Amino acid sequence: MRLLGSNVELWMRSINLAITNWISELQAANSAIKTPSSLFSYSFSTLGLWKVQLYCPIIAMNVEKSNGPLSDDRLLFSLNYHQLEGVIQLNHKVVVREKWIEVMVNIDNIRFDIIKLVTDTLMSERGAGITEKHFPSRIALQITPTLQANIISISVSKSSENPTREISVEKSIEASFEPPNTVGLNFSAGETSTISLRPWKFEQSAYGNSAILNWFLHDNLDGREVFSSRPSKFALMHHKAWFKNRYTNADRAFTREGGVIFAGDEYGDSVCWRVGRGCKGRSMEWEMKGWIWLTYWPNKHRNFYSETKRLEFREVVCLSLI
């Protein structure tokens, strides 16, 4: 796959377009045939870096929850004819101490994008437009060493705080004189403050010898987790709700194309495993499991439909303890 270079994205989009057409035909015919998993992922290990790349058509992902069946064919077309593309890059470092070996892993770059499988013209003619699509609402990553007996301890870093409160206070005084035939002075004073919520919360935790990394998208108005909640009908009708025009707003939680990027400069704290010195010189396997939640809330197309889908992947990477 590495030899294909950038052509792998075009190849996977062609494959997943064919898979989407096939599944759409089965669904239209009410076929009872169970489609196999359409997730394609691969990984490789190199000096100082682990990389996992994955592709999956949105139509093949499992629906975790929705507020009812979707009867809008145009919206269904727009939601189905996209694919998830993901890249996970982790830096790793081995330090040999006197009594143990330290394995440190930190985030280099994590990217997830929702890519359309058809042209803009076809999406407008048969669908509800190119801006009606899912967005990432939660990402979870679990890293586990396979040789559990050789692990002495694991250390994780603190999580990010949410909400981030940025207080901005504005004070003003207005004064005016009364007309000439009276004597007096009127004045008024006011004070306003603003509070902004951080859209993404990052959490690190440990379960046994596994490190668990979580990113949660929060509603920037009330602070609720998006993947586990549903918008009210009032919010769905409100044209100034945060998820309306969500790919063009100045305070958007996504890239303009609808994806997310988590870089090491913001999430660069490392996870550290202490491994027994008896493993020095050995090659050690690490299991990398992940879960991605994608949510749809209306953007510009008027409707009351919402849903959340989930995808799970598993890869194994290697590390030499030298």
In total, how many domains does the chain have? 1
- 292 vs 294: CA distance, rounded Å: 7
Beta strands 151-155; 271-276: pairing state: antiparallel
> Are 52 and 88 contacting, i.e. CB atoms less than 8 angstroms apart?
yes
Q: What are phi and psi of 115, to 5 degrees?
A: -110, 135
- 302 vs 169: CA distance, rounded Å: 37
Domain presence at residue 171: no
Instruction: Flag whether pLDDT at 235 surpasses 50.
Output: yes
Domain presence at residue 173: no
Instruction: Flag whether pLDDT at 317 surpasses 90.
Output: yes
* pTM confidence score: 0.85
The answer to whether the bond into 36 is cis (omega within 30° of 0) is no
Domain presence at residue 221: yes
- 189 vs 167: CA distance, rounded Å: 19
Domain presence at residue 34: yes
Domain presence at residue 187: no
- In angstroms, what CA-CA distances link 308 with 89, 127, 180, 254, 316? 25, 20, 67, 17, 27
Kindly report, residue by residue over 19-62, the tens digit of the pLDDT: 999 999 998 888 767 777 778 999 999 989 999 999 999 999 99
The confidence band for 6, taking pLDDT boundaries of 50, 70 and 90, is low
Q: For tokens 């550290």, what's the residue?
A: 272
Say how many Å lie between the first and final Cα of the chain, rounded.
28
Domain presence at residue 99: yes
Domain presence at residue 97: yes
Kindly report, residue by residue over 131-169, the tens digit of the pLDDT: 999 999 999 999 999 988 899 999 998 776 544 444 444
The confidence band for 189, taking pLDDT boundaries of 50, 70 and 90, is low
Instruction: Return all residues near 129 (Cβ < 8 A) that are at least 6 apart.
Output: 78, 123, 300, 301
Domain presence at residue 27: yes
Query: Average pLDDT, stretch 102-124?
Result: 95
Give just the sign of the alpha carbon dihedral 247, 249, 253, 255: positive
Domain carrying residue 309: 2-164+192-320
- 253 vs 68: CA distance, rounded Å: 26
Nearest to 142 by CA among 302, 289, 307: 289
